[in-house]
């Protein structure tokens, strides 16, 4: 029997759940839903062009789970994932890419590079999810990125981004807590709005995880962004040369029900919302 730490009451040498947890796996379970994203991509593309999409580019792809699910969804589909972080990309290779068979893996291309680079071949859909383009804090940077993103699309192509907003998103110290997994091996996801500067709209968010044994993985991910609005982004898309843009607003009023997105030009005021912008080349 091992001795116990007088302060914590736990056996010495025994690691907490937070110490043994994989932050990328926790992130995927908490934040990502590739099946839902692909379903939305398909619908948005058909809304624009009345046909099926086959090629995808995922900018800021991280562990590129969406790329992997995309190619698995149809044997004719290919995907390109682009990200600058070698650690995150390697985790994706070790944990997501390996789940595909050899033929499927051959249809996924992973690029460790800045998203502001032109690549061939051009694709049907370019996705920039999880508010990632907010890393660009000036109008010039965003417009330049949108111009390059547009050049990476085929003539019948769309760019898809998610957006968030509402007063709660600007309230410092506001934390959204959600139980992700129940039981002795369970954990919760905490999304914290740490700071917001109303003068330049710079903001900082944290993702933390709390586990069933009471241990915490604090600030597992930190995001330092410019808080962009729907109106600003649509204006910048037009400036970058996109012919049209659409807002898909969540019209499901019951928080316990699955989100349902529809094109809208008028939406109700909401203290906390998430929507999509779809831009047509």
- Domain extents in the chain: 27-165+228-280, 167-225
Average pLDDT value for residue range 261-276: 94
Average pLDDT value for residue range 184-201: 96
Report how far residue 103's alpha carbon sits from residue 269's, in angstroms, rounded to the nearest whole number: 47
Burial of residue 59 (CB within 10 Å: 0-12, 13-18, 19+) is buried
Lowest mean pLDDT among 5-19, 20-34, 36-50, 180-194: 5-19
Vertex 189: Cα angle to 33 and 271 (nearest 5): 85
**What is the per-residue pLDDT for 253?**
73
**What is the per-residue pLDDT for 120?**
82
Render pLDDT for 57-96 as a digit per residue (tens, 0 to 9).
999 999 999 999 999 999 999 999 999 999 999 999 999 9
Average pLDDT value for residue range 224-241: 98
**What is the per-residue pLDDT for 257?**
73
Report how far residue 219's alpha carbon sits from residue 50's, in angstroms, rounded to the nearest whole number: 43
**What is the per-residue pLDDT for 164?**
96
**Contacts with 30 (C-beta within 8 Å, 6 or more apart), sequence order:** 178, 180, 189, 207, 209
* Beta strands across the sheet bearing 216-226: 174-181, 187-196, 202-211, 216-226
pLDDT band at 3 (very low <50, low <70, confident <90, very high): very low
* Fold (topology level) of 27-165+228-280: Rossmann fold (3.40.50)
User: Whole-number mean pLDDT of the chain?
Assistant: 93
Render pLDDT for 107-155 as a digit per residue (tens, 0 to 9).
999 999 999 988 888 999 999 999 999 999 999 999 999 999 999 999 9
**What is the per-residue pLDDT for 109?**
97
**What is the per-residue pLDDT for 46?**
97
pLDDT(161) > 90: yes
pLDDT(1) > 50: no
Render pLDDT for 237-246 as a digit per residue (tens, 0 to 9).
999 999 999 9
Share of the chain above pLDDT 90, in %: 89
**What is the per-residue pLDDT for 258?**
77
**What is the per-residue pLDDT for 256?**
65
Report how far residue 273's alpha carbon sits from residue 257's, in angstroms, rounded to the nearest whole number: 14
Question: Around Cβ 106, how many Cβ atoms within 10 Å?
Answer: 11
pLDDT(178) > 90: yes
Question: Around Cβ 178, how many Cβ atoms within 10 Å?
Answer: 9
* Beta strands across the sheet bearing 244-250: 108-112, 78-83, 55-59, 123-128, 153-165, 273-280, 244-250, 261-263
User: Which DSSP category does 71 fall into?
Assistant: H
pTM of the model: 0.92
**What is the per-residue pLDDT for 6?**
43
**What is the per-residue pLDDT for 10?**
52
Report how far residue 139's alpha carbon sits from residue 132's, in angstroms, rounded to the nearest whole number: 15
**What is the per-residue pLDDT for 47?**
97
**What is the per-residue pLDDT for 150?**
97
Q: Which two tokens stand for residue 227?
A: 């808080």
pLDDT(166) > 80: yes
Phi then psi for residue 217, to 5 deg, are: -105, 95
pLDDT(4) > 90: no
**What is the per-residue pLDDT for 14?**
85
**What is the per-residue pLDDT for 11?**
55
Report how far residue 16's alpha carbon sits from residue 274's, in angstroms, rounded to the nearest whole number: 34
Question: Around Cβ 271, how many Cβ atoms within 10 Å?
Answer: 12
Average pLDDT value for residue range 172-179: 93
């Amino acid at each position: 029997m091992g001795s116990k730490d007088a302060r914590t009451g736990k056996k010495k040498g025994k690691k907490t759940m937070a110490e043994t947890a994989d932050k990328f796996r926790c992130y995927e379970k908490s934040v990502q839903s590739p099946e839902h994203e692909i379903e939305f991509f398909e619908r948005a593309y058909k809304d624009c062009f009345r046909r099926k999409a086959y090629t995808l580019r995922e900018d800021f792809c991280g562990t590129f789970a969406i790329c992997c699910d995309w190619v698995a969804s149809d044997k004719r589909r290919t995907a390109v994932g682009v990200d600058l972080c070698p650690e995150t990309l390697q985790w994706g290779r070790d944990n997501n890419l390996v789940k595909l068979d050899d033929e499927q893996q051959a249809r996924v291309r992973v690029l460790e590079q800045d998203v502001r680079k032109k690549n061939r071949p051009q694709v049907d859909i370019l996705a920039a999810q999880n508010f990632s383009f907010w890393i660009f804090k000036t109008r010039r940077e965003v417009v330049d990125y949108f111009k390059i993103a547009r050049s990476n699309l085929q003539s019948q192509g769309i760019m898809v981004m998610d957006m968030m907003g509402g007063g709660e998103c600007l309230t410092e110290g506001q934390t959204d807590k959600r139980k992700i997994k129940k039981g002795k091996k369970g954990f919760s996801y905490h999304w914290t709005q740490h700071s917001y500067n109303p003068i330049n709209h710079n903001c900082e968010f944290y993702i933390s995880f709390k586990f069933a044994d009471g241990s915490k993985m604090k600030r597992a991910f930190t995001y330092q962004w410019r808080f962009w609005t729907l109106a600003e982004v649509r204006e910048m898309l037009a400036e970058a040369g996109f012919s049209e843009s659409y807002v898909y607003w969540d019209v499901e009023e019951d928080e316990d029900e699955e989100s349902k997105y529809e094109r809208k030009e008028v939406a109700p005021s909401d203290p906390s919302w998430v929507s999509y912008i779809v831009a047509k080349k």
